Chains A and B, each alone.
Chain A
């Protein structure tokens, strides 16, 4: 299946270009239907007859939304809701031996969000069935998101603009950039990371730290690289899909990290769990009651628990039923609860002792701290289960930190010196681009207004680095997409 995914030749060189041509030849009023058929066809290529599951989801979601709009009865909302999440649970959490349809965790979230938006009257319902279908299964987003939200996406998704050269140029460059991140860097890291995580008993100290860092970079480059391909594919059709990443390693703290990492998942939980709970009767009553008796800080502390706990429990469970995923969710729950309840006192303290929180040394320490927290979280996330993850973290502090570290130890991770060079150069390029983006100095539009030779020099450099330095051949094979497994 790996070869048919977004980073494979079938998608990039056959399916996407052919889809663009078919779309371009179709009159506007049929474009929604044609894109839907293309999407379901792509799904069929990936998951064969399991395509029935998203088709049923489309029908249930579409007609349930209409019913909810007409008669605002709770039953029309709860029945489809139970159906959607029941299907998700059967495929994903219960050991029935079923293969889950690809992307089910993603389109189920989109469907549930749409029903909630209609129920709360935050969006209009889709008139046409193909609009609901496209919203749930538009082929670039079906495998691993971004999870779309109806109020945010309807403006661009249902416009069916004409194909334009500039949009295709923009899309193609973005896709090439994503392929560079995945094939040149992430797929190489994947080999070394696999060696450490699958034989974690053989490593300790510095090597485990390297494993944690390499996995976090692998995950970032792979997931954000695929998102570049996804957003680029959308561009080809003039559709502006939401961004899922925003320079996550420049985060101030754990809460900031989740505004920059898998943004669409965090946004879903914020819009459909966090806010609704925060304006619910229980929380409001507690606010009035708590403030009179316990003061502001403690009242807000309890409100944070009430609103955050369900979000992070769901975040953990969403990734899977493994105890490491539940721990991962709870880990961020504790970190973010701690941050929100100490932020104000901390800043007051810093002001009192005259510490400039904008000073480079302060930012440097803060960045090291947040990166360490991120690396620990991703180690647990990647481990086969919680006890392995915890024992990996524990083994960092066992024995001499640098014992057994040598150039040979790194070469034994099954990638060679040239691979490390490719990874190093690749990471440096990605870091530079992210740094420029973070400082608002990066404007991709400029590339397209450059003189032709300069523009093509950059494009060729990107394309040839993917072709020449991509991780192909013996020892690599197709590396399956990590998030396609969720």
Chain B
């Protein structure tokens, strides 16, 4: 799952060390268009539904945070 997510992220912008970062949104490493692309890709790839409730920086600030959110959605 991690591999696939990294592939999605690198497709959006390959100039970021995603594994190292913990403030992707807060530090503006992912912009709003990047984020909505990522959300669409996550939905298609992992078969989860992302709602306005999930659109909080803390769910997208790091790879781990995104994975946790996906796990939570799948459960």
A residues with CB within 8 A of B: 116, 120-122, 151, 255, 259, 270-271, 274-276, 278-279, 284, 287-288, 300, 303-304, 307, 340
Contact = CB atoms under 8 A, between A and B. Distances in A.
B16 interface: no
Contact of B53 (A120, A278, A288, A300): A120
Interface stretch (B1-9, B32-40, B67-75): B32-40
A284 B36 CA distance: 10
B55 A271 contact: yes
Mostly, the B contact residues are helix
B40 A284 contact: yes
B28 A278 contact: no
B19 to A, nearest CB: 24
A481 to B, nearest CB: 29
B28 A259 contact: yes
B32 A274 contact: yes
A279 B53 CA distance: 10
Nearest to A311: B32
Contacts of B35: 275
B33 A304 contact: yes
A340 B33 contact: yes
Interface string B12-32: 000000000000000010011
A122 B36 contact: no
Give the size range of B's interface with the partner. Answer: 10 to 19
B56 A279 contact: no
Mostly, the A contact residues are helix
B56 A278 contact: no
Interface string B47-58: 000111111100
Contact of A122 (B28, B40, B44, B56): B56
Q: Which 4 A-B pairs have the closest CB atoms?
A: A278-B36, A275-B55, A276-B52, A120-B53
Contacts of B43: 284
Given A255-B31, A279-B36, A279-B50, 19 more contacts: A120-B51, A121-B53, A122-B53, A259-B28, A270-B32, A275-B35, A275-B52, A275-B55, A276-B52, A276-B55, A278-B39, A279-B39, A279-B51, A279-B54, A279-B55, A284-B43, A288-B44, A300-B37, A340-B33
B65 to A, nearest CB: 15
Contacts of A271: 55
A275 B56 CA distance: 10
15 contacts: A116-B52, A120-B51, A122-B56, A255-B31, A259-B28, A259-B31, A270-B32, A275-B35, A275-B55, A276-B55, A279-B54, A284-B40, A300-B37, A307-B36, A340-B33
Q: Which of A120, A270, A275, A288 has the most CB of B within 10 A?
A: A275
A120 B53 CA distance: 5
A302 B16 CA distance: 27
A65 B28 CA distance: 31
B36 to A, nearest CB: 4
A304 B33 CA distance: 8
B32 A279 contact: no
Contacts of A279: 36, 39, 50-52, 54-55
B23 to A, nearest CB: 14
B25 to A, nearest CB: 11
B59 to A, nearest CB: 10
Contacts of A278: 36, 39
